[in-house]
Amino acid sequence: MSIWWSLHLRREAASVPLARRFLLGTMESAGVDPDISFDLSLALSEACANAVEHGGAHGGPGDAAENWDAWQEPSGAASGQYRVTAYLDGEKCRIEVADSGPGFPAGRALRTAAQQHETEQHPYENKQQPYENKQQPYTPQYAEYPPLTAEDGRGLCLIEELADHVHFGNRPGHGGAVVSFDKVLKWREGALLMVS
């Protein structure tokens, strides 16, 4: 058995806890371990908060209708929406949050948590070369960890830490950011979706 759902939400702060509660309710009903549920719900909250804050129209008023044809509200204010999709099966939960904003900057790569750890542990990849020719450590172009005094900017890094696999990208041909992540599930005793 598996569970799949998709929500189309307005870009309003109240939508963030709504999406989080929906996910928590789904995972509790299915029997997912509470620690895994907490990690995924926190990652979802961060992705939704980013969509609410940054997911607005990136062009003129007419552009939103072109980019969000299937998601258009009757009022035509499609840039005021974002979508959350979740899929739970016996092994993992996969979540995707897509918005209608300008998306992530073109040509910029986001560093994954694994790349961050590898850079910190092994700054030079090829240890066979003489010191003068060693490669420089991986330098991310976008997802730097913010300074400790920053009031925001930690959401994407937090998602990377909470999930097993993370992908940050843009909607092809439509504009808008897509944040997708998954995590291997653990189950409570007697869970409905437990791996058979």
Does this model's pTM top 0.75?
A: no
Quote the tokens at residue 128: 């066979």
> Would you place residue 50 in the very low, low, confident or very high pLDDT band (cuts 50, 70, 90)?
very high
The model's pLDDT over 64-92, given as tens digits with 9 standing for 90+, comes to: 444 444 444 433 345 689 999 999 988 99
Cα–Cα distance for residue pair 27/189, rounded to 1 Å: 14
Which secondary-structure segment (H or E) carries 63?
helix 63-67
Burial of 100: CB neighbours in 10 Å, binned 0-12, 13-18, 19+: buried
Residue among 147, 139, 136 nearest 116 (CA): 139
Which secondary-structure segment (H or E) carries 3?
strand 3-10
Quote the tokens at residue 137: 């450590």
- Higher-pLDDT residue of 80 and 14 is 14
CB count within 10 Å of CB 143 equals 22
Residue 150 has pLDDT above 50, yes or no: yes
Q: Taking CA 189 as the corner, what is the angle to CA 185 and CA 194, rounded to the nearest 5 degrees?
A: 45
Cα–Cα distance for residue pair 93/103, rounded to 1 Å: 24
> Would you place residue 11 in the very low, low, confident or very high pLDDT band (cuts 50, 70, 90)?
very high
Cα–Cα distance for residue pair 40/180, rounded to 1 Å: 11
Sheet order of strands, 3-10 included: 3-10, 81-88, 92-99, 177-184, 165-170
Using CA atoms, how far residue 184 sits from 27, 95, 165, 175, in Å, is 13, 12, 9, 30
Give me the mean pLDDT over the 28-57 stretch: 94
pLDDT at position 57 is 65
DSSP string of 133-196, one letter each residue: GPPPPP--SS-PPPPTT-SS--HHHHHHHHSSEEEEEE-TTT--EEEEEEEE--B-TT-TT---
pLDDT at position 31 is 93
